[in-house]
Amino acid sequence: MINILSDQSLFSEKCLIKTGEILRQCAHTSVRGVDLRVHEHTEVQAHAVVVASGSSPWVPPQLEPVKALVSVNDDVFEWTDLPESVAVVGTGVIGLELGQALHRLGVRVTFFSPFDALGPISDPAVVTNAQEVLGAELDLQLKSSVDEVEHDGTAFRVAWTTSAGEQRQATFDRIIAAAGRRPNLGGMNIEAAGVELDHRGVPVHDDRMMQCGTSSVFVAGDLCGHLPLLHEADDEGRIAGSNAARFSRTSRRRSGERRWRWRSRIPRWPSSGRDSRT
Ligand SMILES: Cc1cc2nc3c(=O)[nH]c(=O)nc-3n(C[C@H](O)[C@H](O)[C@H](O)COP(=O)(O)OP(=O)(O)OC[C@H]3O[C@@H](n4cnc5c(N)ncnc54)[C@H](O)[C@@H]3O)c2cc1C
């Protein structure tokens, strides 16, 4: 017998799939769905599931030896003092925002990236311009490779190769890993529900329906690896929730609608227009 709990029951459970796992796609004749295990004590069968567990900072392999000592974005807001020097590994929007702020607070900051990209900028002419403008203020080691990182108990020693092929090294009080984020799917066993993962570990899904293949799993937010922005997560959550609620063999599935508009909520990184999905 399939026991479908009401929404109220589901939401009364704290951390619904926090440490649980998606067990399997139901093979029931009348209801397609997903079995969930919540901790070790509760099993839930649902017509459809929305997974919106966000993403976490990724620590690149070069920082593995000192991983336990490396800071990520959330850690910075717990710092109780300003270090004298910081290495920022990654020149995406988070690394640049935090690093630039620290620089303007008087911290010696060096940015490292194996690429020449800055933030979310995609237009080559604008990238060049941003490199000139930001490079005039910040120490940007673009197209560099971090070769070795060690910690002597007091500071980090970073050895790197510059874009011109020169070997350099410097010491830093702290390192911020800002080299991208990966979906929070650890331990969820989402594949058991028939969901495929791409090379980044992102569930393969239709980015208009937010549905994973033909499964009864829907995804939303930073987990999806699109634009990691709050209003996008909001849109995707509405679409995924709406489609998940309608999901069954008999109901018609409705495509959600994204809002496209001028955006300028993020200081210093406004962007506009449509992306390649439209
Ligand atoms: C430093 C920083 C600055 C940002 N600045 C901006 C900005 O200025 N403007 C903007 O629009 N966006 C900004 N963003 C992005 C914005 O925060 C995200 O796009 C948004 O929070 C994504 O929402 P989400 O619900 O997908 O993920 P989250 O907000 O990360 O929520 C995911 C939730 O799922 C929970 N969770 C994780 N694993 C599990 C599990 N196994 N089971 C159940 N629950 C789980 C987490 O604890 C968390 O509560 C910023 C992000 C960062 C990191």
Helix then strand then coil, % of the chain, to nearest 5: 25, 25, 50
Nearest CA to ligand 1 atom 12: 229
Tens of pLDDT, residue by residue, the chain (278 residues) = 233 333 333 333 333 444 445 666 655 444 457 777 777 777 787 888 899 999 999 999 999 999 999 999 999 999 999 999 999 999 999 999 999 999 999 999 999 999 999 998 989 999 999 999 999 999 999 999 999 999 999 999 999 999 999 999 999 999 999 999 999 988 788 888 889 999 989 999 999 999 999 888 999 999 998 888 999 999 999 999 999 998 865 444 445 555 544 443 444 455 655 554 44
Distance 55 CA to ligand 1 centre (A): 7
Nearest CA to ligand 1 atom 17: 230
Query: Is the domain of 78 the same as that of 104?
Result: yes
SS3 for 80? coil
Query: Is the domain of 72 the same as that of 169?
Result: yes
Query: Is the domain of 66 the same as that of 170?
Result: yes
Choose which residue among 49, 53, 73 to substitute to test ligand 1 binding: the one with the highest number of ligand atoms within 8 A of its C-beta.
Answer: 53
Query: Is the domain of 174 the same as that of 256?
Result: no
The count of structural domains within the chain is 2
Tell me the CATH number at 227: 3.50.50
Choose which residue among 39, 230, 236, 268 to substitute to test ligand 1 binding: the one with the highest number of ligand atoms within 8 A of its C-beta.
Answer: 230
| For the CA of 236, the nearest atom of ligand 1 | 26
Query: Is the domain of 213 the same as that of 225?
Result: yes
- Do the beta carbons of residue 83 and residue 156 sit within 8 Å? no
Tell me the CATH number at 104: 3.50.50.60
Instruction: Return d(Cα 259, Cα 236) in angstroms, integer.
Output: 10
The answer to whether the pTM exceeds 0.95 is: no
Query: Is the domain of 163 the same as that of 194?
Result: no
From 158, 179, 200, the end of a domain falls on 179
For residue 157, what are the β-bridge partners?
150, 171
Query: Is the domain of 173 the same as that of 241?
Result: no
Q: What is the pLDDT of residue 48?
A: 87
| For the CA of 19, the nearest atom of ligand 1 | 41
Please list every protein residue whose CB sits less than 6 Å from any atom of ligand 1. 15, 17-18, 52-54, 73, 94, 184, 188, 221-223, 228-231, 233, 265-266
Query: Is the domain of 143 the same as that of 239?
Result: no
From 128, 156, 179, the end of a domain falls on 179
- Do the beta carbons of residue 256 and residue 276 sit within 8 Å? no
Closest-CA residue to 146 (of 62, 85, 72): 62
From 144, 179, 214, the end of a domain falls on 179
The two beta strands, 145-151 and 139-141, are: unpaired
The two beta strands, 174-177 and 181-183, are: unpaired
- Do the beta carbons of residue 197 and residue 203 sit within 8 Å? yes
Query: Is the domain of 131 the same as that of 166?
Result: yes
Instruction: Copy the structure tokens of residue 104.
Output: 């303007």
Distance 90 CA to ligand 1 centre (A): 19
Give the max Cα distance, the chain: 68
Q: Which residues constitute the domain of residue 89?
A: 59-179
| For the CA of 94, the nearest atom of ligand 1 | 1
Query: Is the domain of 71 the same as that of 175?
Result: yes
- Do the beta carbons of residue 237 and residue 229 sit within 8 Å? no
| For the CA of 229, the nearest atom of ligand 1 | 19
Query: Is the domain of 254 the same as that of 212?
Result: yes
Query: Is the domain of 218 the same as that of 239?
Result: yes
Distance 129 CA to ligand 1 centre (A): 30
| For the CA of 266, the nearest atom of ligand 1 | 8
Choose which residue among 75, 189, 222 to substitute to test ligand 1 binding: the one with the highest number of ligand atoms within 8 A of its C-beta.
Answer: 222
| For the CA of 267, the nearest atom of ligand 1 | 8
